[in-house]
Structure 1
């Protein structure tokens, strides 16, 4: 009989070994980087796939004690990851290009949000198995709509780096749009989670958080960087605890903890390395933990149809919004399609967002599974759709005689 420790280590072997083998031997990097493969493997190891095929093995390896241990690591991993995402938001550049950023970001968020809300209404009309037991219809519609509008900033950075765009004008523009949408995502999530029974606690949290953030800034300016890292971990845990206490969820607190911090307090190379280490050593456990929450009780066909509907709303809405922005701002031909597909990256932040909705019983486990599949599919489409368009766009920009249009142009 295997001990809990041995079962836990078997689970960890699966968490790190299976995705790496699939990624490396299958050479999936073009359409599915390692982080996406890890998410897919988490789904495969969940109760809907492995649990259905080998129920005894699944129940033995993923016992309640093992799941509890994995969840503890997963919670801290995602808190660290969201905290870093909050720190890396750069609104200074967004403000300097505010017309272009505001128009594009609002349309790139608003159109898929609207399309996702319509899809959510269709799911409500389909049957009651998609909405969570604690949700009102407006919470469900708003949550699903925003899930369709999310762009995962950390994955976008990874893709831009892979494509050689991260430090280029086009890459910086896309990051501006995604950064503004990132703030809107968490604002909508806070609104969806607003608890009128605990509104007093939430008001206390906001007042206390504002005061504490001011004190944090005063402290951070007076201490060395090595001390800032330790203070940051204390700050992260404290804000996450306070947010969870008032009903906003600890992930909202983790994002807020990072969002009020100045990235200039830390060496950029060290922060990049820290994010890399979190992705390498901790986040795979979160992906497995997420996969263990997937359910197919409404049937595989129903879940896949729901995922397809959400994917259509997400991709179609995002492309429509960005194309409209391009027309209004006078972008070069082809830029709208390029930017629209780059903003399709949803894995990680959308999965974190969906986890919160599931925790708060806004959505059902079946819809959580459909959202997870939609996020994976949307992210996997990004590189194959962007690469040929980027090659064509770079080819066009090699002709100096071609006129450059308006403030939306890549050429500066």
Structure 2
């Protein structure tokens, strides 16, 4: 067995894309060690990442792992979701959850999302005018998806503050004890929320899932709570980080920003390029081969942990001409930021809608928007899993 090498050290935290470029030049598949010491296979070439994500032999079900996976373990009641079950259960759960995430449903939410964006923008503009600068991450990017997901799950507004605190603890780097405590708190809260929605159902996604279960579907109580947890986490993290990282990208590419201001109709194209260029998720969720699989000329044994690098795939010159250049008019709009194959993100329309409305509104309301500090003074949280700005102070 090839010895696992350490690649997620200081140089990676400073510039992960340089590390990916070096790895791609050496080959597509690498035996590397995660920060906790766990050995994994990291796949870096776009063609192999795309093929692997669609290959049914790479399972997300941890029961196919043969001891190499040391990731943080959720309580069993939160683990029975789309990202941790086998094909049959995955298809059954996906059909149920999909009812709340159709493009038509999301389009119906567009007015409510725009109202949330406008309210946050009003407060943010007032803060910039009062203080001369404000942090986009804390004042806008973080609360927006929590508000939207809170509405999906019918979380009462007077409970948003403590709810948001738990989520922030889970999204930001912290101790194992803090993470475990936040997970326990959210689990307890979701159990209570399910009970409340069961007693007084509404038009929200959670009520719909409860109705499906109570009508005779085989959705268990643990599956119900875990699906609510997945909707919460998947719906919060990517959108928050993409709004912050996306706005930073626009503000540090003056020509592209000027073109977008001159032609606002290019915003949907710009958002797709941001999903490629500034994807916060560095890797897709880990997979476990159900049988020995050859990928990129490397034979991976059954049960080993495999990580498909989205960030590396998006900077692969074999797929994207000048991949390190941000280009809102790029011809190839295909990306893997929202998954590929059976695990393509059910919330993709919702994520696109939030990012598009958020960036479009900020740029329209603040025509003089710019960084309040030099770009090299900004601090990033960079791990093998995601890369995100800790704060983005801007002025107008």
- TM class by smaller structure: under 0.3
- Report the TM-score, using the length of structure 2 for normalisation: 0.28
Question: Which structure is higher in helix share?
Answer: 1
- Report the TM-score, using the length of structure 1 for normalisation: 0.27
Question: Which structure is higher in strand share?
Answer: 2
